[in-house]
Amino acid sequence: MAHALLVIDVQNDFCPGGALAVPGGDAIVPMINAMMDDFDAVILTQDWHPAGHSSFASAHPGKEPFGMVTMPYGEQVLWPDHCVQGTHGAAFHPDLRTDGDLIIRKGYNPAIDSYSAFFENDHSTNTGLDGYLNSRGIGTVTVVGLATDFCVHFSAVDAAKAGFETRVILDACRGLDMDGSHASAIDSMKNAGVTLA
């Protein structure tokens, strides 16, 4: 079975100086670039929100970033406006290689946030990535990128649930770690059968 590299959300807004910066987010770029030639396929994801997305604190009068609200699909963290379609913040980090096989854009539905490369946060709206991987004969995925405790975590768990042998290379990820979210994500990935390397 073929082996794919899944590069999650290495975008300007998640790197130092961005609207939702992950500490050291840009430090992983050289490592990811160096890995790409070792895989049968490379898929990059891109957070791609319309302006006024429902996951933005600015869309909820009186709410602050990093607070919580209940959405029809469950609890939702409210984020600073980030990765708005077509902006500099939504662009890939300028040093990241983008010569992969596929780019999956997620979070473009204004009513649903999307952490996972496989499903939006309602856990039922499929991005089509599993079908693409299956059609390419891919049985194993390695996940890297930003942020360990959110989009990397949910992508890895969904990959394992979809039947792919899944590993996360932690050195090629960086996390936000909000209120213990990093430790919780590590436990969740282990419990889903994800290999942490």
Closest among 84, 96, 79, 98 to 21, alpha carbons compared = 79
Structure tokens at 21: 């910066």
What H or E segment, with its residue span, contains residue 45?
Answer: strand 41-47
Catalytic residues: 9, 106, 151
One-letter amino acid at 153 equals: H
Q: Which residues have C-beta within 8 Å of that of residue 133, sequence separation ≥ 6? A: 4, 41, 43, 141, 164
